[in-house]
Each structure stands twice: as C-alpha cells, then as structure tokens.
A and B are shown apart, each in its own frame.
Chain A
Amino acid sequence: MSTTAIVMMVVAIVLVWGGLVLSIINIRRSPEEVDELDPDYPEQPDGFGNPDQPEQGERSRVSEPTR
C-alpha cells in the first residue's frame, strides 16, 4: 500500500469510528430517564382501546419499569 493510501485509511477510520465512540460517550453521559407515567403505560381497555388487542398481558409485562 502506498503511504497516502495508508494515511487516508487511518484518517477515515479515526474520523468515522472516532465519531461513533464520541457519540456513544455522549449518549452514555446522559442516563436514560424513566418516565413518571411509565408504569401506567399499558392503557386499560377503555372505550377506545383495542378489545381485540392480543398482547394485553404482554404489554403490561413489558412495560414494568425495566431500569
């Protein structure tokens, strides 16, 4: 490989993968917040809910505060 090609490859890797690392660090610095209403997320079937919603039970499980 020529020197310029090696330099460009290193630059590309550093910039793009470095960008990925920085953006991951950035998002890790702001921890995920759990919404206050989150445990209430699964709406009970009401007038407008989905009576044929098959995942009713599953949704209640899924939306237990997970973190």
Chain B
Amino acid sequence: MSTKPLRGGASNEAFSGRTMFIFAAIGSAVGLGNIWRFPYVAYDNGGGAFLIPYLVALLTAGIPLLMLDYAVGHRYRGSAPLAYRRLHPKLEAIGWWQLGICVIISLYYAIILAWAMQYTIFSFTKAWGDDPAAFFMSDYMQVSEEVTISFNFIWPVFIATAIAWLALLVVLMMGVQKGIGRINAILIPLLVVMFLIMVGIALTLPGAAGGLDALFTPSWEALGDSSVWVAAYGQIFFSLSVGFGIMITYAAYLKPKSDLTGSALVVGFANSSFEILAGIGVFAALGFMAAAAGTGVGDVATSGIGLAFIAFPTIISEAPFGVLIGVLFFGALAFAGFTSMISIVEVIVAGFRDKLGLSRRTAVAVVVIPLAAVSLLFFPTTTGLNLLDVTDAFVNNFGIVAAALVSVLMLTAGFSALPTLRDHLNSVSSFKLGRTWMIVAGAVTPVVLGYMLIDQLTLNLAEGYNDMPAWFVNVFGWGMAGSLVVIAYLLSKLPWSRRTAAAFTSPAPSVQDAYLDRDLLTQDKSFTHYRDTAMRSPALDQDYSLRAIQHGTVVHQRAPWDEGKATADEAPASRSAGQPTRDNHEGGAR
C-alpha cells in the first residue's frame, strides 16, 4: 500500500513555511560575529569606506553562495553528506568535511554561550569589579600560564556550559518545526528588540558621537588596499554561515515549492542589517568608554572576547543604566549565539541521522551527548581559552574556507552542477538568476576564497600562530584541520543505513518544475550536467523524476500529458519505489 513517495532521513521533517525557515536561517546567520566581529573589522578597514567592499562582497559572494547552498540542500534534500551524495557519490566526503567543521565549532561555541549567560547575571552586580580584564583572565577563567591541555576544571563555567548543552538538547529533541523553527521565531524578534533598546541607550551616552565618528569616517585610500577587500569578503563569508552545511541542512527542511532566492535576499540583507545595528551600538558604547577614560576611540576599540568580556564590562560599570545595557548586551549575545549553535549542531544531527537511519530523538542523543562530553572535558578548564583560540582560528581559516573552496570548485569545474542548480532555483523562486549568478558563484568566489586560504596559509606557516608552542598548534591547529579531511573521506566510505539507502531512489521531489523537466525527459537528457551517468546516484534516476511529475507535485496546473490520470498517486511510482531497493542500496554503499 505504500504509494507515498519514500523519503529518507532528515527530509522527513519540514518547516511549516518559508517564514519559519527565514527566521531559522537568520538565527543561524546572526551570531557572535555580527556583534563582536563586524564593528571592529569595519572600523579597522576604512571606516565608512568599508561599506563599499562590504556591499560588493555581500552581492558578489555572500548572497550568491547562500543561494548555492540553498539549491544544493533543497534540490537534493538531505543533510550535507546526503545532499552532496545525491548530487554525486564522489562528493559525499565534502558533506562530511563540513559536518566535521560543525563538530569542532560546536565544541567551543558552547563555552562562549556559557560566558555570555554568566555575564548576563554578572551585569546585575557588576561582579568584575574595577578591572574586568584581570577578572576575566585570572578570577573567572583562571587562564594558566602554560599553553597546554589540562583538566583543571572551572566549575561555574563547567556548569554554565552544561546548561547550554542541555538547552540545546531539549530544542533539538523537539524537532525542526516545533523546536528549531519556534525557538528562532521567538528569539530573533526578541534579539532585535533587545539590541534596539541597547543601541538606543548607548546613543544617549556622552561620547557616543565620537565613537560613531570613528566608525563611519571614511578613509577612502583603504579601498586601494587589497587586504581591506579580503577583510570584507571574509566578514561576509564568516558571518553568513555559508559553506559549512548549515544552509544545506535548513534548506532541506523547506517544502518543495519555496521561494529560495527571495529568501536568500532577505536572509543576506537581514544579517547585514543587524551588523550595521551592532556597529552603531558597539561604537556608541566604545565612544563613551573612550570619552570616560579620556583617550581616543582607537585605544579602546577591539573585537571578539576582548570587546565582549573586557571592554563592555568596563562600559557597564561606568555608564548610566549600566545594568540594563549589560543585561541587554549579554542577553543578546547569548541569544544570537544560541540560535547559531542550534544550526551548527543540527548539521551534525541530520548527517548522522541520515547515515545511520536513526529517528530524530535517537540521533539527537547520539550526537549531542558525546559532543557535550568532549566540550565539557576540554574547554571549561584553565587551559580552555588557548585551545578555543587555536581551534577557532584554524577551523575557520583552514576548515570553512578550504571546504567552501573545494565544494564550489567541485560544483563548477568538477561536476558542472551550476546550470542544474540555477534551473532549480529559478523553477521555484521569485528572483530569477541568470548567467551573472553562475559567474559570481562559480568564478568570483573561488578566486576570493583561494586568495584568503593562501594568505592565511603563508602567514601561519611563516610566523606560527600567536606565539603558541609549536606542538600545540600542530596538534590542535594543523592536525585538527587536516584530520577533518581524512575523517571525512573515511566516513564517506562507510555504507549508508538501509533505510536511507532505500530512500536514495526517492528523496522529496528533486524535480520541481514538471514543464521544465519534461523537456529533458522527452529528449532523454539527464537532469544533471555531467555525462557519466553510471556514477550518478540512484536518487537522480529518471525513474524517480518521472514519478515526481506523475504525482503532479508542486505544480498546480495539470500537465497536458497527464490529463485523464487523475489519481496519479499509484502505478509506476510505487512499483519502482519498492522493487530496486537492494540494487540501490549496493549503489549507495559504493
């Protein structure tokens, strides 16, 4: 009686609609980088003039890559490894590489969440006293002199990190729509409101204008500096969460007829809008701090941990309404981080769920509990801060960038999937893409990513990393980044669960436009643009595509050749779905 299309793994679940998806995607994109990275990057790279490379990067790399990720996830409908596998079996390893990157990020991201949560509470009593820097490094994190690995736990941080993991476990257990969708639909508007109030207060502080002056005064000569352009592309790239599986995973949860490019534009601009807002808030506050200390804004401007956990406590201690600023700032940081963390861990959950054929709850337990254990073992310790520093730098520069570069090259030069993906995007979307998208996604982004990779590679090889001991950088930096590739390759060689492999024949409809694809079918053309159909995943077989058309999925008009087949819910569909399972399983396991 199984006339319904079979679907494997992650694509069993869906967001209720594109609004939920957009909230979730914004939640993923808006993270710590928007709040503590963008303001300083903009200030440091030309101030107001930075706007030009920033917008160019958004339009030529950020949004096009976002659309590329959406297309892969939505057309091939699965977690990163499954989606890439369905695109081409040889590409599965890229999906695992991206998943591995998410593993590393999630390990240290949890502890930053823990800090933000604890500092929200510290804001009430201004627990950092007169010297926030000393408080953070010595009293709170008790950072050890020696750069190594130790298991001297800092129990308050340990407990806060455990709470962050527990909250994550609960949200992910609740599923895509009820958990991920709903928490984002609540937290994102809340985050924006909190930040708006925070910015409103910051703007009234004495000296705020000086801070904004520093941020927005353009130095036009910066535009001639290639490092400024790289910084702009880097900021856009890291802040949009593109290229490491998140947007693939979320797009797989979209219903078949969803406006992908329209959503990408909203998400891309929403992310940048929040960055501008954060820039105004942070620099207004820094302007106050500089005025209070009688120094220039340049002397207090900083980013990352230094900004959030050292500069902001100073501001909170001195400013009127300091407690309110503190609660809003750290609360916003925690919310922004939490929604991003959800998306990062969901990539891992979806991947294992697909590969092993697990139910959602089992997959969440199998993924989150070991991750939490490793995270709690290595990071809330006296040596955790240095470990965080090195893993963060290397997983970003040699993980995300390298994986994105390889995946873009494979999708363009390797397997020329871009025309297929463009057709897919156009068949469901309001904003149509043409050759320009293929050129920017396929040609501009690899050049920029390649430049960023080589730049960081030469820098780190020549100078080492941050004066840290070589063995530490070799193991947790280079070793970690390299082993991600090796592990990804090995995982791609393991067989898929029977359940998912069976569903290779039939993911959610990958053919979105019956009219468009019918032409391909009648001319016996392949849906993909690579010739070697023998290597093609069974998921892309025409048999399946025909079935999607037969079902009339996603098209409202009845196809002319389908007249008279009112109940197209049966016939060849079910037969071909059930029968070749074993073959396809073998094919899948290869």
Contacts and interface: CB of A to CB of B under 8 A. Distances in A.
Contact of B503 (A4, A33, A48): A48
B48 A26 contact: no
Contacts of A60: none
A14 B255 CA distance: 33
Given A27-B263, A30-B430, A6 B216 contact: yes
Given A16-B276, A46-B4, A36 B554 contact: yes
A41 B14 contact: yes
B212 A50 contact: no
B12 A43 contact: yes
B262 A26 contact: yes
Contact of B360 (A40, A43, A55): A55
A13 B276 contact: yes
A35 B551 CA distance: 11
Given A30-B262, A43-B5, A50-B499, A5 B48 contact: yes
Contact of B55 (A5, A15, A24, A35): A15
Contacts of B484: none
Interface residues of A, number: 49
Contacts of B51: 8, 11-12, 15
Task: Label chain B's interface by main secondary structure.
Answer: helix
Contacts of B551: 37
B8 interface: yes
B555 to A, nearest CB: 7
B580 interface: no
B497 to A, nearest CB: 10
B262 A66 contact: no
A53 B358 CA distance: 8
Contacts of B215: 5, 9
A38 B255 contact: yes
A46 B502 CA distance: 12
Nearest to B212: A1
Contacts of A49: 6
Contacts of B218: 4-5, 8
Contacts of A37: 256, 551-554
B82 interface: no
Contacts of B49: 8
Contacts of A9: 48, 212, 215-216, 280
B217 A66 contact: no
Contact of A36 (B48, B502, B556, B581): B556
A37 B554 CA distance: 7
B153 interface: no
A7 B217 CA distance: 9
B204 to A, nearest CB: 14
A26 B286 CA distance: 37
Interface string B510-540: 0000000000000000000000000000000
Contacts of A52: 359, 362
A23 B268 CA distance: 9
A23 B67 CA distance: 14
B431 interface: yes
Contact of B6 (A7, A27, A30, A43): A43
A27 B262 contact: yes
A24 B19 CA distance: 11
B269 A36 contact: no
Given A13-B276, A26-B431, A40 B213 contact: no
Contacts of B276: 12-13, 16-17
B359 A54 contact: yes
A36 B60 CA distance: 35
B90 interface: no
Interface in A39-67: 40-41, 43-44, 46-50, 52-55, 58-59, 62-63, 66-67
A6 B280 CA distance: 12
Nearest to B209: A1
Interface string B143-185: 0000000000000000000000000000000010110000000
Contacts of B357: 50
B13 interface: yes
B167 to A, nearest CB: 20
B22 to A, nearest CB: 8
B177 A62 contact: yes
Contacts of A1: 209-210, 212-213, 216
A67 B259 contact: no
Contacts of B217: 2, 4-5, 8
A62 B259 CA distance: 20
A7 to B, nearest CB: 8
A38 B498 CA distance: 26
A12 B216 contact: yes
B7 interface: yes
B14 A63 contact: yes
Closest 5 CB pairs of A and B: A8-B48, A46-B2, A23-B265, A27-B262, A30-B430
Given A11-B51, A20-B272, A50-B499, 5 more contacts: A2-B217, A26-B262, A26-B265, A35-B554, A36-B553
27 contacts: A2-B213, A4-B217, A5-B47, A8-B49, A8-B51, A8-B218, A16-B55, A19-B265, A19-B272, A24-B266, A32-B17, A32-B18, A32-B19, A36-B555, A37-B553, A41-B14, A44-B2, A47-B502, A48-B502, A48-B581, A50-B359, A52-B362, A53-B360, A55-B13, A58-B178, A62-B177, A63-B14
